[in-house]
């Protein structure tokens, strides 16, 4: 029996990407439910999936501490990003589809350029794991949440923390930014 840990819809709503407990990524036709492809992406379970704004790429996060990026049309891998020292819990693309952000149990959020032009940038770190990340539609802000019960807002262009929001009585496992 297949375990689905994460899912995301394509921008046009035509397909659903599922991240599975066996480390695979599967793409399903939204209208018929038919599986279009399945690829083995991670050595352990997939924890998060995201689709780029331009619809060309799928990102996945895994319990193997890696981030993988694949073409959305056929699942062919284009990038593997390694460097986290804990399970990667969340991924999100920047609004221009040129980079992917990852949040990890190692307490970091990293910004990985898809063209490989530079090393990943660290967008803060904490002693507690980070389990959620989202990017605003205009590409100006990154919101993150984690085990420390905080939600923080960062300026993506300035690479600086803008606001820390306290008040949660437990971990923050999901964040979203309204358009």
Greatest alpha-carbon span in the chain: 46
**Of 63, 70, 84, 54, residue with least CA distance to 17:** 70
With b for 16 or more beta-carbon neighbours within 10 A and e for fewer, the 6-44 pattern comes to bebebeeeebbbbbbeebbbbbbeeeeeeebbbbebbee
pLDDT confidence of residue 126: 84
Residues 6 or more apart in contact with residue 130 via CB below 8 angstroms: 89, 90, 103, 104, 105, 107, 108, 109, 144, 145, 146, 147
* Rounded Cα–Cα distance for residues 138 and 127 (Å): 29
Give the pLDDT of residue 92: 98
Grouping H, G, I as helix, E, B as strand and the rest as coil, residue 42 is coil
pLDDT value of position 127: 86
The whole-number mean pLDDT for each consecutive block of 10 residues of the chain, a chain of 179 residues, reads 92 96 97 96 97 96 97 95 96 97 96 90 88 96 95 94 94 92
pTM assigned to the model: 0.94
């Amino acid at each position: 029996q297949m375990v689905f840990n994460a899912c995301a819809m394509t921008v046009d709503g035509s397909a659903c990407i599922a991240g599975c407990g066996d480390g695979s990524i599967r793409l399903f036709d939204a209208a018929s439910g038919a599986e279009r492809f399945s690829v083995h992406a991670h050595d352990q379970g997939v924890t998060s999936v995201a689709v780029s704004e331009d619809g060309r790429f799928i990102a996945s996060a895994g319990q193997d501490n890696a981030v993988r990026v694949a073409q959305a049309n056929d699942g062919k891998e284009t990038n593997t990003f390694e460097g986290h020292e804990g399970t990667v819990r969340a991924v999100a693309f920047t609004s221009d589809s040129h980079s992917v952000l990852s949040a990890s149990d190692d307490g970091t959020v990293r910004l990985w350029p898809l063209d490989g032009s530079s090393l990943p940038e660290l967008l803060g770190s904490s002693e507690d794991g980070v389990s959620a990340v989202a990017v605003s539609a205009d590409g100006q802000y990154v919101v993150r949440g984690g085990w420390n019960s905080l939600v923080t807002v960062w300026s993506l262009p300035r690479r600086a923390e803008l606001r820390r929001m306290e008040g949660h009585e437990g971990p923050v496992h999901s964040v979203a930014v309204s358009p």
